Chains A and B, each alone.
Chain A
Amino acid sequence: MANTEIVEEQKRQLHGLRIRDMLTTLTAATAAISATGFMFAVAPLNGALSFVLLSYVLFVAFYALITALDEDREGVKDRVASVIVRSAAVVIFSALVFIVVFTITRGFEALPYLNFFVEDMSLAGPLDPLTTGGIIHSIIGSLIQIAIALAITIPLGLITAVFLNEMPGKYSRFVRTMVEAMTALPSIVAGLFIYATAILILGVQKSGFAAALAISVMMLPIMIRASDVVLRIVPSTLKEASLGLGAGSWRTAWMVTLPTARSGLTTAIILATARGIGETSPVLLTSGFTASLNLDPTNGPMVSLPLAIFQFVKSPEPTMIARGFGTAAVLMLLVLILFILARVLGSDVKISKRLAGLLKFRRGDK
């Protein structure tokens, strides 16, 4: 008889939100905010930040108290830890999103003017309104510098990554350690290095080319590390099949390893580009400053986007600061676009599957 009743028991909810938890959170939050409000009214406290901090501490305390009503010690610890971990994540993500949003909103002051994108600053003085002058010189400068840097780092970076994977041993392990160390090379030291070698010894003048060299020093380790990770996941059976059919290591790398990892390598290149395009301090030491458009990377100073921001906000004039924020917004959007491109190309399963299918077709049926 009793058995039939058990059968009718309802299915238990194993995850998702429980009404009880939500009520606990809401109660604790309400209590904390009211208590903080009361404290601010009686005690000499002020400031938005201290309000938030105090109410957060009280919230955690009240939350622990309420959970203690129907949980044991371990249960309370579990709940409180979960609240603290979640709030740390919320703080970090909202702070970083806020930085991006802040920059882009302040940038909107300069962005509506078309001349901002097509003119340079050679004819605009510090007191001129936003309707004259623009940042075309720094956009073009950034593009030229990054193109030169990519022309240096793509071959060097990819071959080094292939080296780390195809020729394992003590030497390549040492190279990998040095790549890790190079990732953390302070950017100003990279600038000083190019200044000490290219400019002081080789006699290259401060120019877009010298800046591109400095950016390359910063981009190279990022590209090597990212493509190293990608190449490591190329199935070894594919490579072994190629070697077993009599292809040499060059043929295997060129026709099997690299095409299989193509989408991941594209991601690595774009990630390095996103990092390189935002570098300020190496460019500061090596490219010099100019307000006019310079298309020749080997001759005369050439400004990039981050350097232009840096120069704009040095000025106390509000219009110059607005230009600085506008330039920062352009730079952020550029980085964002590059990043989305990297993710789409890198994580698109369809593309890599199609690629694999294409490879099979070419190898097998022709």
Chain B
Amino acid sequence: MANIIIGMRLGLSPRNSKQSSTSNESQSQALAISSDSPRLIKHVYDAQDQIFRTVMRAAGSSVLVIMAMVGIFLALRASEALGKVGLGFFTIQAWEPDSGNFGIAAVIAGTVIIAVIAVSIAVPFSLGTALYISEYAPRRIKKFLITLVDLMAAIPSVVFGLWGFFYLQNEITPVAKWISQNFGWIPFLSVQGSDPNDPLTSNTIFTSSSLIAGIVVALMITPIVTSVMREVFSQAPIGEREAALGLGSTHWGMVRNVVLTFGKGGIIGATMLGLGRALGETIAVYMIISPVFVIQPRILENGANSVSSLIALRYGEATQMGMSALMAAGLALFILTLIVNFVASSIVARSRSGASS
């Protein structure tokens, strides 16, 4: 009886409470049977829950459906262009879809160059920042710093683009010049088309380069890389930390041997995650680079390219064939980021499960 009253308070339908009372009766009948054999436990959902569970499952599947549709529709749209150009799609550097002479060799190379620059700048700084927040920062400001990192992850990419174009571009030119003068013998740091030792040489050769785009993208991915690393570091087991300190280790010795050792997988995973983000960045890169359709490995020199900025640049004037070619480029980017991210998240997940044991 008490059960029924509570059931009413919870707002259950009377039908439900009736069911529970009948089950009470059947239970008291069952008590009379003395033999105690295991019985099958069966969960019966009423209509309301049946519907709710179906809706939940459908909502969960929607994510899968969207992701599958992204792949399928891009592939469908891309098939026309891919059929026309064939395997040349991966080797041709030019982008002239209407004459059938196009491929992603140059733009994919450009995307990877910018992403690698971004990651190699962002990871050391993120590592330091994450270590600072989790191991060095006073407890009072720790929470504030974590919020600040989250806030920075929400800065729109177009704002980074503005900063890169109107501020960084001018500031970085003398540095790029200095690097090319002193380290120009390293092939990818050289600059063609101007003599770097000539003081009257124009600075424009150093603008709109992969390096500038890479620095801006580095700042964009720093918050996400930092927050993943910090999370992994904070899960380093307290027992081992205290053991290290108890054995007379310095603070850094403890960080080096416990936190970094336990967080190794997390560091690699966060790096890959950052790489995935860097590969897909559009607007900031688009605003900074001046597109070239050759593989351009000299990172200080004017001229770079990326798949996403190619799409943003060409979608407006594209013919049907051009659009199909852009869809193919988008598909390639989609698959690339998907692979990088699956590898990254599996590494992070494995390191987390290791740390919590």
A164 to B59 alpha-carbon distance, docked (Å) = 10
Contact status B163-A103, CB under 8 Å: yes
Q: Which of A74, A221, A275, A278 contacts B63 (CB 8 A)?
A: A221
Chain B contacts of A313 at CB under 8 A? 162, 165-166, 287
Chain B contacts of A324 at CB under 8 A? 162
Q: Which of B48, B66, B175, B256 contacts A220 (CB 8 A)?
A: B66
Q: Which of B115-140 contact A (CB under 8 A)?
A: 124-129, 131-133, 135-137
Q: A89-B133, A92-B125, A331-B159 are in contact. Are A182 and B66 (CB under 8 A)?
A: yes
Contact status A184-B69, CB under 8 Å: no
1/0 per position for B239-276, CB-CB distance to A under 8 A?
Answer: 00000000000111101100000000000000001001
Interface flag for A178 (CB, 8 Å): yes
Q: Which of A82, A186, A242 contacts B334 (CB 8 A)?
A: A186
How many chain B residues have a CB neighbour from A under 8 Å? 101
Interface flag for A269 (CB, 8 Å): no
Interface flag for B341 (CB, 8 Å): yes
How many chain A residues have a CB neighbour from B under 8 Å? 99
Interface flag for A35 (CB, 8 Å): no
Interface flag for A88 (CB, 8 Å): yes
Q: Which of A134-161 contact B (CB under 8 A)?
A: 155-156, 159-160
Q: How far is the CB of A287 from chain B (nearest CB, A)?
A: 12
Q: A88-B125, A249-B52 are in contact. Are A163 and B60 (CB under 8 A)?
A: yes
Q: How far is the CB of B115 from chain A (nearest CB, A)?
A: 11
Look across to chain A and name the residue whose beta carbon is closest to the beta carbon of B215: A95
Interface flag for A264 (CB, 8 Å): no
A47 to B178 alpha-carbon distance, docked (Å) = 9
Contact status B252-A192, CB under 8 Å: no
Q: Which of A81, A92, A166, A277 contacts B56 (CB 8 A)?
A: A166
Chain A contacts of B16 at CB under 8 A? 246, 248
Taking Cβ atoms with an 8 Å cutoff, the residues of B that contact A are 3, 6-7, 9-12, 16-17, 20, 45-46, 48-49, 51-53, 55-57, 59-64, 66-67, 69-70, 73-74, 76-77, 124-129, 131-133, 135-137, 145, 147-148, 150-152, 154-160, 162-163, 165-167, 171, 174-175, 178, 219, 222-223, 226, 250-253, 255-256, 273, 276-277, 279-283, 287, 308, 311-312, 315, 326-327, 330, 333-334, 337-338, 341-342, 345
| 22 pairs from A and B in contact (CB 8 Å cutoff) | A82-B252, A85-B132, A89-B137, A156-B62, A163-B59, A174-B64, A175-B63, A180-B345, A184-B338, A186-B308, A189-B333, A190-B70, A193-B69, A242-B10, A246-B20, A253-B52, A280-B156, A309-B162, A310-B287, A313-B287, A332-B155, A366-B9
Taking Cβ atoms with an 8 Å cutoff, the residues of A that contact B are 46-47, 49-50, 74-75, 77-78, 81-82, 84-89, 91-93, 95-96, 99-100, 102-103, 106, 155-156, 159-160, 162-164, 166-167, 171-172, 174-175, 177-182, 184-190, 192-193, 195-197, 200-201, 217, 220-221, 224, 242, 245-251, 253, 255, 271, 274-275, 277-281, 284-285, 306, 309-310, 313, 321, 324-325, 328, 331-332, 335-336, 339, 343, 363, 366
